[in-house]
Structure 1
Amino acid sequence: MSLLRLEAVTRTVELPDDARLDILKGVDLEVNVGDHVSIVGRSGSGKTTLLNLLGLLDEPTSGALYLDDQPVGGLSSGTRDKRRGRDIGFIFQQFNLLQGRTALENAMMPLLYARGKQFWQRERIATEMLERVGLGHRLQSMPDKLSGGEQQRVSIARALVRGPRLILADEPTGALDVETGATVMRLLDDVAEQSGAALITITHDVNVAALARRHYRLDNGVLTPVVATPELASLVGVAS
């Protein structure tokens, strides 16, 4: 079932000299429930702009974006905000944890904006999610007492506590060493699969990209599908 769909999406900005900069050029992409998609691109290829569109943070200049087969363009800003908070979880290269707050408090943050049971049971929900990512023994630890991999696990737990249907991971291993990064990505893939969420990984690292089931390359604003080779898969020890 289609969860998110982009049709001929473009994004253009006006420069100070009245010139136009085409950042995205006719992007087509369909993401189904439970998908794991990787998008590889170099700096300046349009990755951040595409992430902002996928996360409902921005709107295309032309083309259409659909969520659950409903056009997003017709939604009010308030409705977009609600859909983003409920359905989309963000994981970034920089962990963005609140210093002076424990791992548990950081993981609970999105639930402060929830309603009903999710709000009243926020501590239990966050605790269970931290346990799922292997940090049940670090609930009261401050960020500066956690390793890079542990901090990223807290950020993963924070992104997942509201049960998002779509997870956007933006260079999620960029601040980690290769071994820790591979471990974190396998964990993220496992947790997403168990929860039935779709996962989109945006990265410049082919090792990280190889863990996905479908692969795309973003180059100069143009998105094209890529067939993963056995050699690419073997870089991270996954079966072709």
Structure 2
Amino acid sequence: MSLIELSDVTRTVLIPDSDPLTILDGVNLGVEPGERVSVVGRSGSGKSTLLNLLGMLDLPTTGELCFEGESVPDMKSGRRDRVRGGNVGFIFQQFNLLDGRTALENVTMPLLYARGPRFWGRERIAADMLDRVGLGHRLTALPGSLSGGEQQRVAIARALVRQPKLILADEPTGALDVETGQSVMTLLDDIVREENAALVTITHDPAIAARSDRHFRLDRGVLTLADDIVAVS
């Protein structure tokens, strides 16, 4: 059984005084635990909408979206929030760290919603995760004092601190130089392998996409399996 699966999914939005706009059209995608999947596509191809569906932030207009065999649209909103919070980690291109909080405080924040030992031990767990990404010596550093690669490592630690089953990375190396970007992806690949988590990476970079087990192309809302990876803009 796939960890998350989209079956003939469409996403359409209504536009005043115009025809409905179809953003995703008949998308089929299943992602297994431990699998790395990449999606490439031009700006406006529907990548962000696809990511929002995979992260259960949005729902399909038609078709089926299931997480561990359970229909996401059939979940009540509270349950959907709990499933997302406990199982999905997001990594963004712009890091989205809180400027006034230390690296440790940024990574601790997702654990404020945990229960029992993980809540009471949240600072230790966050510190251990930062050490795992090579920042055990930077716990008290503010984002402004960190390099781009270090900030992305904090963002990765924050995304993984709740041990999610599904990691969604939106252009995770877009703000980094090539060498740092490859280093960050190697770190991410290693952690994904160790945790048997699924990783879906949205990227413009063919070198990053090529690291995945399966590669897809999204063009005008249509998702297809790609035999080769080429640069897109």
Using the size of structure 1 for normalisation, the TM-score is 0.94
SS in 1 for 2:38: strand
Structure 2: segments with no counterpart, 5+ residues: none
Tell me how far 1:203 sits from its aligned partner: 0.9
Question: Do structure 1's residue 211 and structure 2's residue 195 form an aligned pair?
Answer: no
The residue aligned with 1:225 is: 225
User: In the alignment, residue 75 of structure 1 is paired with which amino acid?
Assistant: M
Partner Cα distance (2:70, 2:109) in 1: 29
Query: Do structure 1's residue 47 and structure 2's residue 50 form an aligned pair?
Result: no
For 2:121, the equivalent position in structure 1 comes to 121
Matched, 1:94 2:100: no
Q: Identity across aligned pairs (percent)?
A: 65
Deviation (angstroms), 1:228: 4.3
AA aligned to 2:16 is P
User: What's 2:200 paired with?
Assistant: 200
Which residue pairs with 1:108 in the alignment?
108
The residue that corresponds to 2:141 in the other structure is 141
In the alignment, the residues of structure 1 paired with residue 42 and residue 186 of structure 2 have an alpha-carbon distance, to the nearest angstrom, of: 23
Question: Displacement of 1:227 after TM fit?
Answer: 2.1
How many angstroms does 1:125 deviate by? 0.7
> 2:18 maps to what in 1?
18
Alignment deviations for residues 197-219 of structure 1 (CA, whole Å, 9 cap, x no partner): 10000111111101111110000
Paired AA for residue 158 in structure 2: R
Amino acid at match of 1:216: F
Cα distance in structure 1, aligned partners of 2:23 and 2:228: 26
1-structure distance, mates of 2:126, 2:138: 12
Shift of 1:18: 3.4
CA offsets, 1:35-74, max 9 Å, x none?
1000001100000100110000000000000111111111
Opposite residue 161 of structure 1, the aligned amino acid is: V
Tell me which residue corresponds to 2:183: 183
Number of aligned residue pairs? 230
AA matched with 1:52: N
State the match for 1:74 in structure 2.
Answer: 74
The root-mean-square deviation of aligned C-alpha atoms, in Å, is 1.0
Q: Distance in 2 between matches of 1:228 and 1:192?
A: 23
Q: Matches of 1:146 and 1:227 in 2, distance apart?
A: 38
5+ residue gaps, structure 1, are 233-240
d(CA) in 2 for partners of 1:178 and 1:21?
A: 36
Point out 4+ residue stretches in structure 1 off by more than 2 angstroms. none
Which SS does the other structure have where 1:106 is aligned?
A: helix
Residue matched to 1:32: 32
For 2:21 and 2:204, how far apart are their aligned partners in 1? 22
CA distance in structure 1 between the aligned counterparts of 2:23 and 2:139, rounded to whole angstroms: 42
For the residue of structure 1 that corresponds to 2:56, the secondary structure is coil
Structure-1 separation of matches of 2:121 and 2:219: 44
What per-residue deviation string (whole Å, max 9, x for no partner) do you get for residues 1-20 of structure 1?
A: 41000000000011121311
| Partner Cα distance (2:228, 2:141) in 1 | 40
Per the alignment, in what secondary structure is the counterpart of residue 42 of structure 2? coil
C-alpha separation in 1, matches of 2:2 and 2:211 = 21
CA distance in 2, matches of 1:76, 1:54: 17
In structure 2, C-alpha distance between the alignment counterparts of 1:47 and 1:117, rounded to whole Å: 37
